[in-house]
A = this chain, B = another copy of it.
Amino acid sequence: MARAATTADAFNAVAEPRRRQILDALAGGERPVNDLVRILGVGQPQVSKHLRVLREVDAVVVRDEGRQRLYRLNGRALRPIYDWVKTYERSWSERFDQLDVVLDELKQEEEGDGSDE
């Protein structure tokens, strides 16, 4: 089997740095494809292809305006990533190092379940 499709979910879609660059550029507001081509400094077909991937995971929305196509960010598509990764925040937050021990203990009590198996 090969790796999952980039369009499988937001995690796969944003694994590509250029696609994160595109989203960052769109954070400033709606933009036509050519703007992104200039900002990224890569070919137009490449940008269009990245935009297609982002569209398939709903990370961007497109709107026609004359001969241009204006792309807009849809940050909500990134929420699963945020939700998943934020639970790990305490891992590096010095402040919570002490709290971790307590929380782990409470969690084990609540679950009332042997931790092994």
Q: Give, as a whole number of angstroms, the nearest-CB distance from A18 to chain B.
A: 10
Given contacts A4-B16, A63-B111, A110-B63, are A27 and B78 in contact (CB under 8 A)?
no
Return the CB mask of A86-112 against B: 1 if under 8 Å, else 0: 111111100000000001100100110
Return the CB mask of A35-49 against B: 1 if under 8 Å, else 0: 100100000000000
Contact B107 A91 (CB under 8 A): no
Q: Which of A15, A28, A63, A92 has the most CB of B within 10 A?
A: A15
Q: Which of A64, A74, A88 has the most CB of B within 10 A?
A: A88
Contact A91 B78 (CB under 8 A): yes
Contact B28 A115 (CB under 8 A): yes
User: A11 — which chain B residues lie within 8 A by C-beta?
Assistant: 14-15, 17, 20
Q: Mark A residues whose CB is within 8 Å of B.
A: 3-4, 6, 11-12, 14-17, 20, 23, 27-29, 35, 38, 61, 63-64, 72-76, 78-79, 81-82, 84-92, 103-104, 107, 110-111, 115-117
